[in-house]
Amino acid sequence: TTKYWGVLSGSACLKMDGGELVSGWRDGAETDNGRLNLRDNSSIVMTDGRIRCANNTNGGNDAEALTIGENAGTTSVSVSGGEIVASGKIHLGMNASSVSELSVSGTGVVSSANDMRLGYNGADSTLTIADNGQVNVGTTAVPRWLILDKGRSTINLDGGTLSVGKLSVASDSTAEINFNGGTLKAQYSIADYIDNREALTLNVQAGGAVIETDYALSIAAPFVSGESADGGLTKKGDGIL
């Protein structure tokens, strides 16, 4: 068979401080149904090494490669070093009974070749980036979307960089981005970087909001002060904001 799913369930905890974990590859090629799923109250704690997650459809990138929180429970992934590389989508939460957390800090890197989705089907999802952590949703060559779905989505930019082609917010979402020194980086020129902005709150905290762009970029969503002495808004890069 060519089905090679990786599944963590119950209270299982995978700890990685080196080496490589591969889900869905064989002989250098993607296999069918090769995604990595975290269920129940499982977790990953990663300080070094590499995790590669293939798509769950052979050779494509239109379905999820990594699911954090497939069913009821609280699942978490912490990456303070090393990298996770997903050839398809990354989902934080899959239903209203799931609580999912992805934390990327230190020198950790998480990259998705396709979209990343938070709050799917009513899930409670949190993405936190700190220090020099990096989360890449697509690339400048192939930009992808960060989708904040109809559940609760919280993004904490306490440092590091979140690179994404576009932010798409469901009209019935409860979503917020807390800027506290981290950078939101645009991947290409776009007239409206955030859609359905009425459902999203952009909080500027003491570390400030940093937007990086080498393109012409428009953000119509309001930035609001999340603290009495917020750090303001800084634009980086050669583009126009």
For 110-144, what is each residue's pLDDT tens digit? 999 999 999 999 999 999 999 999 999 998 888 89
What is the overall mean pLDDT for the chain?
Answer: 89
Amino acid at 16: M
- Over 60: is that where the pLDDT of 57 sits? no
Write down the pLDDT at residue 1.
30
Amino acid at 74: T
- The residue among 230, 186, 239 whose CA lies nearest residue 209 is 230
- Over 90: is that where the pLDDT of 239 sits? yes
Distant-in-sequence, close-in-space partners of 109: CB < 8 Å, separation ≥ 6: 79, 82, 83, 84, 133, 134, 135, 136
Q: How do 174-179 and 194-195 pair as beta strands?
A: unpaired
- Over 70: is that where the pLDDT of 177 sits? yes
The widest CA-to-CA distance across the chain, in whole angstroms, is 59
CA distance 79 to 135: 11
Q: How many CA atoms lie within 13 A of 68 on its CB side?
A: 30
